Structure 1
Amino acid sequence: MQGVFTGFATIGVVIAVGALLAHLKIVDLTAQRVLSQVAFFVGSPALMIVTLSRADVRNVLSANLVATTIGVIVPVVIYVLCARFLWRRSLGDGTIGALSAAYVNAGNLGIPVASYVLGDAALVAPTLLLQLIVLQPIALALLDTDALGRSPSFVQLVSRPFQNPLTVASLIGVVLSLTGWTLPDFVGNPLELLGGVAVPAMLIAYGIALRLGPGLGAAGSVAELATTSLLKLIVQPLVAYAVARFALGVEGHALLAIVVTAALPTAQNIFVHATRYDRATVLARDTILITTMGSVPVILLIAALLG
């Protein structure tokens, strides 16, 4: 259990640093946007290359992946239906809302939780790869499409994901993993150093936004915020459990790993994407805050019931 608290405490401290810097007027919302841009265009792509190149992508072909995929699809579909028919959200806002409801913090929180609670950091790899290779490129393509302000041509639609640095970096990482190639030190070392910028930049930018941005629930719909938070904290882990346990027959530690991973909070990089495209920024911020706080008791309960 100490690993759970350590992971959350680490994130909380770095976010608090960003909020303190904003409170002391050392930085402002301009700095928040700059940090988000640096994380999006530099730090995150470097981190994706380093992380994926070291992962065994063959682990994706497992029961973990099946349960994880369905666990993502169900909350996304529920949110999209609500966004379309209840709240009339645009494509960009709806995409960020869907990510807020299902995109887990598999990197900077999932890895320490997998290491200390589950005993193996590799257990989070299927979720990490699914999000980076499938979910994130699709979402970024939709956000890019929305940003055009018009329906793109087929060529634009197909090529646009590959113009995004995160997608390109993810594909490079997968190729390196599959081929076993190792980057030379003069390339790998700078990438690793730049990748180290991503998470703290995201978290500090998030802390600045918490201190200087609109208050909690100011996104315009408390019902929408409640929906994204409940889908992430309750629906996603329940669906992953049901699929893994009853459809695939997974038991024991493997089942615990699947459910704990599904219960991780919304990832901070969703806020970076929201800021980058100026879509549903407050909804992403608030969902991250609520799910980050709420996931602690949820994960502890899961560990107590299935551990």
Structure 2
Amino acid sequence: MPALLAVTLPFFALVLCGWLAGRFRVLPEAAIPGLNAFVLFFALPCMLFRFGAASPVAAVFNPRALALYTACGLLIVALAAGMSRRGWVGRRLGWQDAAFGAFVAAFPNTGFMGMPLMVALLGPAAAAPMMVTLLADMFIISGVCLALAQMQGSGHLPWARRLRALMAGPLKNPQPWAIALGALFSVMGWALPAPAARIVELLGGAATPVALFTIGAVLWRSGLHAQRRTPPAEVLPIAALKLFVHPALMFAGGLALAAAGWPLEAFTLMVLTLAAALPSASNASLLAERHGADNGRVARIILASTVLAFASFTGLAALFGVEPVAP
């Protein structure tokens, strides 16, 4: 456990630093979108490109892992949305708020936190399964949740138009393109010229600290602009789905696949299970705000899952017997 804490504690401490920087106005609120843009459009794509170029393509586009992760994510979406619609989270919610509750229940913070944390714990081999989860979340899980959100007040929109709108977001995001470009370099055996490789290395190296710091700052900003105070009954059930039910379902699904004669590698199943145990994606609160949902509730779910994940994620890694490869 001390070796695990030596890895996980600094990651969560950097998130706290970002929150404190916003809380005490060391970081101006106007600077937060710039930090987020730097990570999203520069640092993180470079990190993903490097991992993609260094990973076997079959591992990055593993259909069995993709199917398992997607199926479990969709089950969590259905469970979270159903709980919200039936009022099992303190009150009955409309489709829009139920959809964004499902979004944060099923969408882990893979890019900003999960990728660097998992590589620090398990080594570069963890990058390929993590990219599987990122692709599934961006193209399938988020699309389903946004489609559910549009069921409230937009029934007149043609389905073709809805589909185009839903696909526009992932296709404009540089992360899947960075993974695809890295996979192309891996297949072709290409390498960047030395100066370009050094630039990508420097930008990719900045991804982890800046992304973690940005998570905290985004959480502070989201709480600042919350529409109302959200009671714990509307927050904790969804956070529990994210941190406990999601990874348990993932591990059980892996065991079921093995029993059916389609086993995943033990390492891949462990990575998928730990990925499901990550806290909710921090940018979900910004997305909820943009779509007019209750971003305060979403922000508090993300905050609760992030705080609790320090103990739950570290404990799950200890149960798996993880021996960190990085101090």
Per-residue deviation, 1:135: 1.9
Aligned to 2:104: 100
Identify if the C-alpha distance between structure 1 residues 208 and 65 changes in structure 2 by more than 3 Å, giving closer, same or farther: closer
Give the conservation status (yes or no) of the 8 Å contact 1:240–1:259: yes
1:88 partner amino acid: G
What are the equivalent positions in structure 2 for 1:246-261 lying under 5 Å apart?
246-249=256-259, 254=267, 256-261=270-275
CA distance in 1, matches of 2:139, 2:291: 14
**Cα RMSD (Å):** 3.9
Counterpart residue identity of residue 136, structure 2: V
Letter in 2 for 1:239: L
2:101 maps to amino acid: G
> Which position in structure 2 is the counterpart of 1:9?
9
Contact kept in structure 2, 1:46 and 1:195, CA below 8 Å: yes
CA distance in 2 between partners of 1:29 and 1:11 (Å): 22
Q: Work out whether 1:87 is the aligned partner of 2:100.
A: no
2:125 partner letter: A
Change (3 A) 1:177 1:101: farther
TM-score, with length taken from structure 2: 0.71
Q: Cα–Cα, structure 1 residues 134 and 153, in superposed 2: closer, same or farther, change >3 Å?
A: same
TM superposition score normalised by structure 1: 0.75
Post-superposition shift, 1:237?
1.4
Distance 1:4 1:287, change over 3 A: farther
Give the alignment of 1:144-183 within 5 angstroms.
153=161, 156-157=164-165, 160=168, 161-183=170-192
Match of 2:70 in 1: 69
- Aligned-pair distance for 1:232? 0.9
Q: Per the alignment, do residues 180 and 219 of structure 1 end up closer, same or farther by CA in structure 2, a change over 3 Å counting? A: farther
SS at match of 1:30: helix
Worse-matched range after superposition: 155-164 or 128-137: 155-164
The answer to whether the Cα contact below 8 Å between 2:69 and 2:136 also exists between their aligned partners in 1 is no
In 2, the alpha carbon distance for the partners of 1:36 and 1:278 equals 21
Kindly provide the CA deviation profile for residues 180-233 of structure 1, in whole angstroms up to 9, marking residues without a partner as x. Answer: 332333433323323344443333233334556537995646444223211111
Code of the aligned partner of 1:182 = A
Distance in 1, Cα, partners of 2:162 & 2:104:
28
Structure 2: give runs of 5+ residues left out of the alignment: 87-91, 322-327
Counterpart-to-counterpart distance in 1, 2:133 and 2:264? 24
Contact 2:278 2:309 in 1 (8 A): yes
Amino acid at match of 1:78: L
Q: 1:5: how far off?
A: 1.5
Instruction: Name the residue aligned to 2:324.
Output: none
Decide whether aligned partners of structure 1 residues 195 and 268 sit closer, same or farther in structure 2, where only a CA change above 3 A counts.
Answer: farther
What pairs up with 1:202-221 in 2 under 5 angstroms?
202-211=211-220, 213-214=222-223, 220=230
For 1:220 and 1:290, the matched residues in 2 are separated by 12
Indicate how the Cα distance of structure 1 residues 41 and 245 shifts in structure 2: closer, same or farther if over 3 A, else same.
same
| Alignment partner, residue 252 of structure 2 | 242
Q: Which moved more, 1:29-38 or 1:230-239?
A: 29-38
Contact 1:75 / 1:231 at 8 angstroms: preserved in 2? yes
CA 1:57–1:222 in structure 2 vs 1: closer, same or farther (change >3 Å)?
farther
Alignment of 1:1-307 (within 5 A): 1-59=1-59, 60-61=61-62, 64-83=65-84, 86-90=92-96, 96-106=100-110, 108-109=113-114, 111-113=116-118, 115-116=120-121, 119-123=122-126, 125-126=128-129, 128-138=130-140, 139=142, 153=161, 156-157=164-165, 160=168, 161-211=170-220, 213-214=222-223, 220=230, 222-249=232-259, 254=267, 256-270=270-284, 281-303=295-317, 305=319, 307=321
Instruction: Specify the SS of the correspondent of 2:223.
Output: coil
Code of the aligned partner of 1:264: L
Q: Name the amino acid aligned to 2:74.
A: I
Consecutive unaligned residues of structure 1, counting only runs of 5 or more, are: none
Q: Secondary structure at the match of 2:27?
A: coil
State the Cα deviation string for residues 76-107 of structure 1 (Å, max 9, x = none): 221233455641142xx555433321223445
Once residues 132 and 188 of structure 2 are traced to their aligned partners in structure 1, the CA distance between those partners, rounded to angstroms, is 19
Corresponding residue pairs, total: 300
Asked whether the 8 Å contact 1:79–1:97 carries over to 2, the reply is: yes
